[in-house]
A and B are shown apart, each in its own frame.
Chain A
Amino acid sequence: MATTQPVGHRIPVPPDFPVEWDDPSHENLFWTRERMHYPEPVKPVIESLDPEAGLNFAAETYDLPIRYHARVINTYRYTAVSPVTMDPEELAAIGERAMENVKPVLARFGEIWETEMLPEIKEHLAYWDSFDLRGATTPELLVHFDETVRRFRRLWDIHFMVGLPMLLSMSLFDDFYRDLFGNQSAFDAFRLLQGFDNKTLETDRALWQLSRKALALPAVQRILQEQAVADVVPALEQSPECAGFLAELRAYLDEYGQRCATSGGNVFDPAEPSWIENPAPVIKNLKDYITQPDRDLEAEMAKQAAERERALAETRERLRGYPQPVVGQFEALLKAAQDGVVLSENHDFWIDFRGSYRIRRVLVELGCRLAGAGAVDSPDGVFYLKFDEIRETLAAVPTPDRRELVAQRKAEMAHFRTITPPPALGTMPPGPPPDDAAGRTLIKFFGGPPQPPTEPGVLRGGPGSPGTVSGTAKIVRSLAEAAKLEPGDILIAETTAPPWTPLFATAAAVVTETGGILSHCAVVAREYGIPAVVGAAMATTMIEDGQTVEVDGDTGIVRVISPD
């Protein structure tokens, strides 16, 4: 693949975004900005972690016809996909073989997760919990660091061993349903997948229940109503009447708060404190939830399951006169996709959140040692170093000074934050990607190509979750900005990382610039029953805070109704 001839056009590189290719053949690939997971500049530590390495492990294990490339260019994350061979026939044959490899996994997807993957994940998490980070000597800590990296990579191997069949299962089912019944709405097939409980909904529901308890306790309610987000916990701590509630809040944070990326826009950022360290997002949601005393969120969610069962009964009735092999395939794909939609949230809970929380704890401890030795000014300097640099710095005597390097990298990130990175780099592909099962899956997850606006005040994205609603637009670039979101507002973001979903109980609709109908945002919005438009390019720049917008989740269109 490295010797492929450039067939398409070289994409011009903007002068303020110089690119050096360490492997010259990489310039022949089509690199696109991966904004769905990383809308913002990424810290050097993420480059070293390279969580997406697991994607190629999965691609090799399932013998997929493509390989994945990811690199950070001028602090922004770009990805490319290359075929394993240039021979179209061979490629098609490998593609068919890959499907055959994935099928047995799909046949017992939920079971494989429960009996093989989840136990292994829990074993890794228990390993981290059993290690005394504070008590370890620095050499012991460095050994633990190596083991941490090894186990972390293994978690991400599992992540993609789940992730690929998970997305494929939902997409194959959607394809199959459309082939059978045509295409009444974008959501027909997905209605049959909704209403199953998962760890995301469990997390959000537990928080909702906490808010109902707060409503029953006047002292707690008053603090939530009157105090600013940052002052709520100290106020609760000072009030003896609130002790019980505070204990429940802490129990909630212990169970569901093991997640990073609480304030940044990037999905994965171990530099971000967990909810346990900084419960601000939880408090913000509690404050919003208590303004809705009469709402029954659990009943709303239960409706999704009832609607699913009704739609499923209808579909099965329609299939009565169909050949059994067709019906059997439908049922098999349905089962796999129903497992897939649950796993699409649960793998995040266990790997993306709980795994990342633990690597953050290791990195923070390393940061404390680095700061203690004077290599960096503060522990957070560790996130601007690469793994080798961390190891070398802590192992060397005397401790080398890394302050200059950290400052340089912070400055680099600050600089590129002011620059709009090009959406694509390298070489334009000679044609559209093949319309095969894998290609369709990727488009449904990452979203299709951006659609240029055809009339002023109208943005075109993709259908994410059905329904139409109007409300006040709130542009939220990071979770830290979510404070301005009030009940009934339209949440407009580049992407919504999974920790954002409790906001879906407050927002009337969601609009994202990235993602497709299988993205987290779309999946969770459907569970909440709120309209969503995904992949609406430039939504955060074209729409202004405070404008009234109408979100039509069925057509994927966002309309600015009032300019202010």
Chain B
Amino acid sequence: MTTGVETETDILWLGEVACHDRSLVGGKAAQLSRLAAGYRVPPGFCLTSTAFAGARSHGHVGTGIGNQPVALPPSLFDKLTAAYQTLATRTSLEAPPVAVRSSATDEDGSAASFAGQHDTYLNIAGIDAVAEAVIRCWASFSSERALAYRRQQGLSLDTVHPAVLIQHLVVADVSAVMFSANPVTGKRDEIVINATWGLGESLVSGTVTPDTYLIRKADLTVTGREIGEKQRMTVAIPEGTREVDVPRLLRRQPAIDDAQAIEMAQLARSLDEAMGFPVDVECAFSGDRLYLLQCRPVTRLPASK
């Protein structure tokens, strides 16, 4: 038995050096782990590909199409329970809501994007629901859709090492997407913030006209402010999210004030400097805490004038 090794690598926390290893946790989680080491990323942990392999070797993971997921191995379930308990302590919540996402280990983002190919379970709370979501994530790696996608992308069907990311779902008061360079004009000295009420889905999917702030990168001065008519917002509901109407009274109210815009811009500028290139950042305020959710290079930036 290789119990000792399994114990160390079945569960890795975002921010740990070991968790930066994409072969264990997948590209998405590894990247978040690196960010978590330096920024306020919602706490979370990964069930690594090692954990998956261990479970499979014990016959706990169904393979092929239509297989019903089976239970987690008892020892892994105990580790998952302990990790979720730690998350509860860290978030000061009895049953912290989490997002459970698959994060394939050959998903390196370079050529193939797995966006939408593997399951994501939002706003899951309680250990039993979390365990069930993990099993579903594992099963999704062998779903027909996922297998077809891998074939189409010329990816191996055998080398896939599914990892699962379990991360505290911050119930966002305000979500924002920021660019550390103006993606429209190409101006490198300007930060653009699009902010709206609630979770980020309405923003990312473009169903809301957000508030837009322009901020000069050099001295973080707000140079432009346009308040959008924010008609829709995404809220957390049990076991998921839902897009709902924003009450009329709040639609034309600014989602953030200037101080919050500047705090966000500071985060974008710091990431831009750390990465060495313009970044596209997803972040959220919950109360007065600003969380970093995602950071990617800005693609297709127009030439700066």
A-B pair count, CB < 8 Å, reads 56
Asked if residues B235 and A325 are in contact (CB atoms below 8 Å), the reply is no
Assess whether B247 is in contact with A321, with CB atoms less than 8 Å apart: no
> Cβ of B108 < 8 Å from any Cβ of A?
no
Residue tally, chain B, CB below 8 Å to A: 24
Q: B235, A323: Cβ atoms under 8 Å?
A: yes
User: Does the CB pair A175–B197 fall under 8 Å?
Assistant: no
Inter-chain contact A321/B123, CB cutoff 8 Å: yes
Closest to B172 in A: A323
Neighbouring A residues of B244 by C-beta, 8 Å: 180
CB distance from B97 to the nearest CB of A (A): 8
Cα separation A322 to B248 with both chains bound (whole Å):
15
A179 at the interface (CB under 8 A from B): yes
Q: A179-B245, A326-B197 are in contact. Are A321 and B236 (CB under 8 A)?
A: yes
Query: Which residue of the partner chain A has the closest CB to B287?
Result: A324
How far apart sit A322 and B245, CA to CA, in the bound complex (Å)?
11
Cα separation A381 to B227 with both chains bound (whole Å): 62
Complex: how many Å from CA A172 to CA B247?
10
Tell me if B247 and A325 are in contact (CB < 8 A).
Answer: no
Asked if A179 meets B246 with Cβ closer than 8 Å, knowing A320-B236, A325-B173, the reply is yes
Is A323 in contact with B173, judged by CB distance below 8 angstroms?
Answer: yes
- For A323, what are the chain B residues with a Cβ–Cβ distance below 8 Å? 171-174, 197-198, 233, 235
Closest to B171 in A: A321
Q: Is residue A176 within 8 Å, beta carbon to beta carbon, of the partner chain?
A: yes
Which A311-325 residues sit within 8 Å CB-CB of chain B? Answer: 320-325
Could you mark each residue 399-438 of chain A with 1 if its beta carbon is under 8 Å from any beta carbon of chain B, else 0? 0000000000000000000000000000000000000010
Among residues 176 to 192 in chain A, which have CB atoms less than 8 Å away from a CB atom of chain B? 176, 179-180
Q: Is A562 an interface residue (CB 8 A)?
A: no
Interchain nearest-CB distance for A168 vs B (Å): 11
Chain B contacts for A329, CB-based, 8 A: 247, 249-250
* Residues in chain B near residue A325, CB distance under 8 A: 173-174, 197, 250, 253, 255
**Alpha-carbon separation in the docked complex, A333 to B197 (Å):** 18
- A321 with B249: CB separation less than 8 A: no
Task: Give bound CA distance, A421 to B246, whole Å.
Answer: 44
- Do A321 and B237 form a contact, CB below 8 Å, given A179-B245, A329-B249? yes
Check if A175 sits within 8 Å of B236, measured CB to CB: no
- B286: nearest residue on chain A (CB-CB)? A324
Which residues of the partner chain A approach B233 to less than 8 Å between Cβ atoms?
A: 323, 326
CA A325 to CA B286, docked complex, whole Å: 10
Distance in Å from the Cβ of A204 to the closest Cβ of chain B? 34
Task: Decide: B249 and A172 in contact? CB cutoff 8 A.
Answer: yes
Question: Can you name 13 A-B residue pairings with CB atoms under 8 Å?
Answer: A176-B249, A180-B244, A180-B247, A320-B171, A321-B237, A322-B171, A322-B235, A323-B172, A323-B173, A323-B235, A326-B197, A326-B247, A329-B249
20 more A-B residue pairs beyond the given contacts A180-B247, A329-B247, with a C-beta to C-beta distance below 8 A: A176-B247, A179-B245, A179-B249, A320-B236, A321-B97, A321-B236, A321-B237, A322-B235, A323-B171, A323-B197, A324-B173, A324-B286, A325-B173, A325-B174, A325-B197, A325-B250, A326-B197, A329-B249, A329-B250, A333-B249
Among all A-B residue pairs, the 9 with the closest Cβ atoms: A321-B236, A179-B247, A323-B173, A324-B173, A176-B247, A322-B235, A323-B198, A321-B235, A323-B197
Which residues of B does A touch, CB under 8 Å?
97, 123, 171-174, 197-198, 233, 235-237, 241, 244-250, 253, 255, 286-287
